[in-house]
């Protein structure tokens, strides 16, 4: 299993219907685990929505270690998920949740201190996520220059409000590389309310 890949645009059709923290088995509906173009062993599943400010919740990330069939897979660990002591996804509010699949660096999942590179869906003023950036100088006129990145690769972006009340955007290159695939199945950067 590679430590990362270059695809941030893996088909993410379907939703999570159940997850057991003990067995680490994730079950979905409408999913196509293992099929060509869909999530494979070694891919990261980002569970939840990234629509900041509209009540969406982002539950965290897991790495697929085996696939039983198109509707079921087993993940490596649960440390990068929220509410891991509640029991299973259905009882903790995960049921019916969509997901994104990506080949982002797996080591970014291990850094969960202060919700770094994962967040429960708070407003953009306090958020953190790993993005696949495919174009240097990424940004557009509709966003301020503070969101612009001058490099391609896997980039951790954290936004927060500083002591002076101003929005801060911290960008950290995790893997500098070209050729990352982005598109409709990836989380856009910046999102509608920033990173």
**How would residue 163 be classed by pLDDT, with cut points 50, 70 and 90?**
confident
**pLDDT value of residue 191:** 63
Residue 93 placed within a domain: yes
Higher pLDDT, 129 or 195: 129
Mean pLDDT value of segment 154-172: 84
Residue 146 placed within a domain: yes
CB atoms within 10 A of CB 56: 14
Peptide bond into 129 cis (omega under 30): no
Provide, rounded to the nearest whole percent, the portion of the chain with pLDDT above 70.
71
Residue 188 placed within a domain: no
Higher pLDDT, 194 or 98: 98
Mean pLDDT value of segment 108-113: 62
Residues 6+ apart with CB under 8 A from 7: 102, 103, 132, 180, 181
Q: Find the domain containing 22 and state its range.
A: 15-176
**How would residue 66 be classed by pLDDT, with cut points 50, 70 and 90?**
very high
d(CA 47, CA 14): 11
Residue 30 placed within a domain: yes
Residue 150 placed within a domain: yes
Provide, rounded to the nearest whole percent, the portion of the chain with pLDDT above 90.
25
pTM exceeds cut of 0.85 = no
**How would residue 169 be classed by pLDDT, with cut points 50, 70 and 90?**
confident
**How would residue 185 be classed by pLDDT, with cut points 50, 70 and 90?**
confident
What's the number of domains the chain is made of? Answer: 1
Residue 181 placed within a domain: no
**How would residue 122 be classed by pLDDT, with cut points 50, 70 and 90?**
very low
**How would residue 143 be classed by pLDDT, with cut points 50, 70 and 90?**
low
Asked if the model's pLDDT at residue 192 lies above 80, the reply is no
**pLDDT value of residue 42:** 95
The CA–CA distances, whole Å, from 72 to 21, 24, 41, 45, 186 equal 14, 11, 12, 13, 21
Asked if the model's pLDDT at residue 128 lies above 50, the reply is yes
Higher pLDDT, 182 or 114: 182
Higher pLDDT, 49 or 139: 49
Residue 25 placed within a domain: yes
């Amino acid at each position: 299993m590679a430590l990362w890949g270059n695809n941030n645009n893996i088909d993410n059709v379907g939703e999570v219907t159940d997850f057991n923290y003990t067995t680490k088995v994730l079950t979905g509906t409408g999913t196509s685990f293992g099929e060509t173009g869909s999530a494979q062993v070694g891919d990261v599943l980002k569970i939840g929505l990234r629509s900041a400010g509209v009540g969406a919740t982002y539950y965290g990330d897991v790495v697929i270690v085996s696939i039983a069939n198109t509707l079921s897979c087993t993940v490596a660990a649960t440390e990068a998920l929220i509410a891991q002591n509640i029991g299973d996804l259905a009882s903790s509010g995960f049921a019916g949740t969509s997901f994104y699949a990506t080949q982002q660096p797996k080591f970014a999942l291990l850094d969960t201190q202060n919700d770094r590179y994962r967040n429960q869906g708070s407003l953009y003023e306090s958020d953190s996520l790993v993005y696949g950036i495919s174009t240097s100088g990424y940004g557009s006129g509709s966003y301020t220059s503070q969101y612009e990145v001058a490099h391609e690769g896997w980039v951790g972006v954290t936004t927060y409000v500083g002591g002076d009340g101003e929005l801060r955007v911290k960008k950290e290159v995790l893997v500098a590389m070209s050729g990352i695939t982005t598109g409709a199945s990836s989380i856009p950067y910046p999102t509608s309310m920033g990173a």
